[in-house]
Amino acid sequence: MSNTLLDTPIEFLKGVGTARADLLKTELSVFKFGDLLYKFPFRYVDKSTFQTIKDLSYDGVSAQLKGTLVSLELVKGANNRRRLVGLFKDSSGFVELIWFQRAKVLSEILVAGAKYVLYGQLKIYKGKKSFAHPELELLEKAEKSIKGAFDPVYYTTEKLSGRGLDAKGIRKCMVALFEKLSKRDIVENLPEYLLSSLKLMGKYDALKEVHFPTSQATLEAAQKRLKFEELFYMQMRLLQTKAIRKRDIKGFVFEIVGEKFNRFFAEKLPFTLTGAQKRVIKEIRADLGSGIHMNRLVQGDVGSGKTMVALMCMLIAIDNGFQNCMMAPTEILARQHYQSVMEYVSGLGIRVAFLSGTVKGKKRAELLKMLAAGDIDILIGTHALIEDPVIFKNLGLAIIDEQHRFGVEQRAKLWRKNPAGPPHVLVMTATPIPRTLAMTLYGDLDVSVIDELPPGRKDVTTKHFTETRRPHVLNFMHHEIKKGRQIYVVYPLIEESEKLDLQNLNSGYEMLLQYFPPENFNISVLHGKMKPKDKDFEMERFVSGKTHIMVATTVIEVGVNVPNASVMIIENSERFGLSQLHQLRGRVGRGAEQSYCILMTSYKVSKEGRERIDTMVRTNNGFEIAEADMQLRGAGNIEGVQQSGYMDFAIANLATDTPILTAARHIAEKILHADSALEDPKNAIIRREIVKMHKKHKNYGRIS
Ligand code: ADP
Ligand code: MG
């Protein structure tokens, strides 16, 4: 079913032509009529309501005013550049207008004394209100053009605007497009039974309505339909990938729970598992025994005990004669896993080894030989584990800790390490991710959630202080050290300037030395530029309690476990993202003591920085923090999301469309459950759409 109109090259649209078409291609990836159709407005302006100048009260607010352009003047600036300055008046007062670009042209178009509708973003500087580059439309004309209640505003770029394709110009293109377009050109891609049961608008109507809304209610209905369609097919794709993998890939069967597991459980397990840990281990065990290939995500808050879950699963693999590997994103974390696993399994006759870039020469060669011969049961390390020459004899289970630093590509590499076939894969997140993101990023994985912390954990008390409270903070540090506790002081990584980083860290260290002199106190320093050997040395001194304070950059962020450390001081905390702050805070509160997290900031903090700090002070719950993070930054900016390739939504928004996504996934599951091959005639439309997707995404169905 080819669709000639939608496939028409964009240069043939009325008012476009070759020059603009070239720009549309490079700037917006619009090649054909159909591409333009899917460039949806990012907001709408209600043309029927106006504000008054008097009531505009904060910087950055969008405003629509009705009034008179009182005066207009071209002014020559210092560097000979002209700017256009105007004065605008409505019934409540005056406001200044200013244009730096196209000043001359605009001075000839705009008419002083005429009535206009003004649209722009208010600027308030030192109490004075102004608009830079407002859009003005003659009132008379504006009133004529108020067809619908809302005007769509399209995303555009500076280059496009320069060619007349500003938001308004794109709107004109859309009008031209819809003059050509009729219902016949738009193929409905949701089956009738879904449209009626979910009360969804038809596709053509929805497309027309989002571009040319007639009322708030119909606009919302149209958006809902298009969002549903987008999320539904994304979920279909993920769930089918998962189903195909389950059908086509045989997983090793771990039939027994044997001696190693049972002995560990009876003799070694240093605590009682939480209910959540038990449940998750059970879920994993069911996978491992099923003959289906496991690809499971374990989500759990910081400190929920994911490592123990991983270890117990590895014991099952060993009982069934398989090897294991566990990958961590940093050397320090990998070593720490190595040490704790060694301790846990000592005396059980399990062979544990460590591999990272620092293991070289003869030692490495020896290790690789043992690995290939099957003489190593658990290999722990960094991403060196998936580098080429590393080959296992029979890798049964691969555990990836703190997933978001490992890409899909790296997950795939693991598969080739094992001549015996694809190992079961267990992915563990460092911090929780919002449910909608989990459904998308890991939509093809099964998910287990550890939603319970080990008993006796006290919530970390979190405080926010500015520099004026420094003496108080130093006193508090003294106090805690006297009680036998240890303290982290963390400095941000400033990506643009590693030098500045170290400066910060070093001056912080110098400052601390004055208050904690070497005669009585020991301080460790740790940063990314240090040699691994020195890092280990400093870390080890802190872990064993020889040093009181650990001054570090974020290298300690993930996973590090020193239960006696009870204070986390984060300097310039406004520079950190929420999940990073939460991860850092998770380094304390690991023992029985009351722990503290102190967020230091400068006096001036941006609105968003302030919200992050407030969120941290308000809650200890990682799932809540993850959600707040997504609301603050938008889904597209969360780590790992960009690379996923699942995020190029034309209209859906994961941060706000949770209910639609949840419904879409639920319905996709139900349909596939009842009709896995989509053979039922009533699902023919879905099947056809998915075939189309296959063609578009060449990698579709590729196993990762
Ligand atoms: P995370 O989920 O952040 O990786 P860890 O696995 O590092 O957490 O566990 C955090 C701490 O909690 C460790 O010191 C670990 O020994 C301890 N722990 C794990 N499970 C339990 C439990 N059921 N009871 C008590 N302590 C536990
Ligand atoms: Mg961990």
pLDDT tens-place string over residues 85-132: 999 999 999 999 999 888 888 999 999 999 999 988 888 887 889 998
Residue 372 sits in a domain whose CATH number is 3.40.50.300
The verdict on 539 and 611 lying in the same domain is: yes
148 pLDDT higher than 80? no
Residues within 5 Å of ion ligand 2, judged at the Cβ atom: 559
Instruction: Give the separation between CA 642 and CA 604, rounded to whole angstroms.
Output: 31
Of all protein residues, the one whose alpha carbon is nearest to atom 20 of ligand 1 is 305
Instruction: Report how far ligand 2's centroid is from the alpha carbon of 303 (Å).
Output: 7
The verdict on 474 and 587 lying in the same domain is: yes
Index of the ligand 1 atom closest to the CA of residue 307: 6
The verdict on 140 and 151 lying in the same domain is: no
Instruction: Report how far ligand 1's centroid is from the alpha carbon of 273 (Å).
Output: 9
User: How large a percentage of the chain has pLDDT more than 70?
Assistant: 92
User: Which residues pair with residue 427 across a beta bridge?
Assistant: 297, 400
1 pLDDT higher than 50? no
Range of the domain at 27: 1-47+147-187
- What are 586-617's pLDDT values in tens digits? 889 887 789 999 999 988 888 889 999 999 99
On the 0-12 / 13-18 / 19+ scale of CB atoms within 10 A, 188 is: middle
Residue 397 lies in a domain: yes
The verdict on 34 and 67 lying in the same domain is: no
Instruction: Report how far ligand 2's centroid is from the alpha carbon of 302 (Å).
Output: 7
Instruction: Give the ligand at the shortest distance from the Cα of 304.
Output: 1
Residue 612 lies in a domain: yes
Instruction: Give the separation between CA 278 and CA 300, rounded to whole angstroms.
Output: 13
The verdict on 63 and 170 lying in the same domain is: no
The verdict on 183 and 123 lying in the same domain is: no
The verdict on 483 and 590 lying in the same domain is: yes
Structure tokens given for 62: 């969008």
Instruction: Report how far ligand 1's centroid is from the alpha carbon of 629 (Å).
Output: 25
Tell me which residues have their CB closer than 6 angstroms to ligand 1: 271-274, 277, 300, 302-308, 454, 561, 563, 590
Q: Which of 299, 301, 308 to mutate to test the pocket of ligand 1 (most atoms within 8 A of CB)?
A: 308
444 pLDDT higher than 70? yes
Residue 333 lies in a domain: yes
Query: Stretch 506-525: mean pLDDT, rounded?
Result: 92
Confidence of residue 159 (pLDDT cuts 50, 70, 90): confident
Q: Which of 306, 307, 345, 579 to mutate to test the pocket of ligand 1 (most atoms within 8 A of CB)?
A: 307
Residue at a domain's end among 160, 187, 214:
187
Residue 300 lies in a domain: no
| pLDDT of amino acid 276 | 97
Residue 244 lies in a domain: no
Confidence of residue 503 (pLDDT cuts 50, 70, 90): confident
Query: Stretch 50-55: mean pLDDT, rounded?
Result: 90
The verdict on 21 and 169 lying in the same domain is: yes
Which of 119-128, 358-367, 553-562 has the weakest average pLDDT? 553-562
Residue keyed to tokens 């019934």: 91
Index of the ligand 1 atom closest to the CA of residue 340: 16
Helix 203-211 to helix 216-248 angle, to the nearest 10 degrees?
Answer: 130
Instruction: Give the separation between CA 462 and CA 569, rounded to whole angstroms.
Output: 10
Q: How far is CA 333 from the centre of its chain?
A: 22
Work out whether the CA dihedral 678, 679, 681, 682 comes out positive or negative: negative
Of all protein residues, the one whose alpha carbon is nearest to atom 13 of ligand 1 is 305
- What are 280-322's pLDDT values in tens digits? 999 999 999 999 989 899 999 888 999 999 999 999 999 999 9
Counted domains in the chain:
4
- What are 673-704's pLDDT values in tens digits? 999 989 999 999 999 999 888 777 654 444 33
Contact assessment for residue 529 and residue 545, using Cβ atoms and an 8 Å cutoff: no
Instruction: Give the ligand at the shortest distance from the Cα of 590.
Output: 1
Residue 91 lies in a domain: yes
User: How many Cα atoms are found within 13 Å in the side-chain-facing hemisphere of 701?
Assistant: 13
Confidence of residue 630 (pLDDT cuts 50, 70, 90): confident
| pLDDT of amino acid 499 | 65
Work out whether the CA dihedral 525, 526, 528, 534 comes out positive or negative: positive
Residue at a domain's end among 565, 588, 619:
619
Instruction: Give the separation between CA 316 and CA 282, rounded to whole angstroms.
Output: 12
The verdict on 416 and 466 lying in the same domain is: no
| pLDDT of amino acid 215 | 85
Index of the ligand 1 atom closest to the CA of residue 271: 24
The verdict on 403 and 513 lying in the same domain is: no
The verdict on 369 and 419 lying in the same domain is: yes
| DSSP state for residue 379 in the 8-state scheme | E
The verdict on 470 and 572 lying in the same domain is: yes
Residue 129 sits in a domain whose CATH number is 2.40.50.140
Instruction: Give the ligand at the shortest distance from the Cα of 306.
Output: 1
Residue at a domain's end among 388, 412, 429:
429
Index of the ligand 1 atom closest to the CA of residue 277: 23
Residue keyed to tokens 């009876």: 266
Instruction: Report how far ligand 1's centroid is from the alpha carbon of 591 (Å).
Output: 10
Mean pLDDT over the full length of the chain: 88
